[in-house]
Amino acid sequence: MASRHQNQFEARIIQELRPRERLQELGGAALSEQELLAIVLRTGAKECDVLTLAGELLNKFGNLYELKQASTSELEKIKGIGPIKALELVATFELSRRVNRSRQIKLGTVTSSASIAGVMIEELRDSVQEQLIGIYLNTKNQIIKKVLLFQGSLNQSIAHPRDIYHHAVKCSAARIILVHNHPSGDCRPSANDLEFTKRVVKCGELMGIEILDHLIVGCDTYRSLKEDGVI
């Protein structure tokens, strides 16, 4: 006859296998964040099964985004998370970041501002600094170059128009799409954003190089200054 301890051990193993079985049968989209996290953790701790441990992590940090920002030392403060589990979690989230960054803009024809914005949202999502990127196009709206024009703090001027048009002349671009991020996630243009955009557009008119759009991206959304009538 199985001992009580053995029965508890077997029940715990079954509990820890369930998320994997559900993943195999239903696919990742059908699983909760807690279940997916449990699969990454693989096993629980002496005091609790893996699903409970995953739940404690989510409760402690509030959501996956905050959990992703946690350091190994912060993770190890959770009972049941040792150095190896902490490193595995950090590595998993770093892979997630790199997957997002790998969705880079490819050389090809631009069909809409929305298509550019979708890629740039992912690329700039985790940036804590404001960045200005120039996407340079030829007369057929094909991307020929992408350049990081500026990176810095929010209280600095975004960039000087001459820096933008220097690259345009160098690669013989006919048009430019500007993209910059608001690390706060709020895509509403500031007074400086509007003034800067108007200055760049005027310079482009003098040089015969069109600014197609200036996109401001946040965590999940974007704002088109072309659609807003600024350009």
Q: For the chain, what is the mean pLDDT?
A: 85
> Between 5 and 192, whose confidence is greater?
192
Quote the pLDDT of residue 6: 53
Between CA 46 and CA 200 the distance in angstroms is 62
Between CA 58 and CA 130 the distance in angstroms is 29
Overall average pLDDT of the 204-213 stretch: 95
Give 83-109 pLDDT, tens digit per residue: 999 999 999 998 887 776 655 565 566
What domains appear along the chain, each with residue ranges and CATH number? 4-101 (1.10.150.20), 113-224 (3.40.140.10)
- Would the pLDDT of 226 be above 70? yes
Whose CA is closest to 203, among 160, 167, 151? 160
